[in-house]
Amino acid sequence: MLDVACGTGGHIPYWQDRYRVVGLDLSPKMLAHAALKFPDIEFHLGDMMDFNLGREFDALMCLYG
């Protein structure tokens, strides 16, 4: 599952037991905070309008957007 605009990863605890979560966000500061909280989760810096992670996902979430 791709969490777009994941911020600090606040929603990851709800999904990480059922899905392999990957995070994407535009803010390096938010991603750094998320990576500290969730060191086992893969995070990427990118804009939701034109990102390309080189693979497909079964689900995409974008909450509070």
4-32 pLDDT per residue, tens? 999 999 999 999 999 999 999 999 999 99
Query: 13 is written with which tokens?
Result: 């605890």
Q: What is the pTM assigned to this prediction?
A: 0.91
Position 64 confidence tier, pLDDT thresholds 50, 70, 90: confident
Query: 15 is written with which tokens?
Result: 């999904």
First to last CA, the chain: 17
Question: In 2-65, where do the E strands start and end?
Answer: 2-4, 22-25, 42-45, 60-61
Query: 61 is written with which tokens?
Result: 């979430």
> In the chain, where are the structural domains located?
2-47
- For 60, the enclosing helix (H) or strand (E) is strand 60-61
Q: How many CB atoms lie within 10 A of CB 43?
A: 20
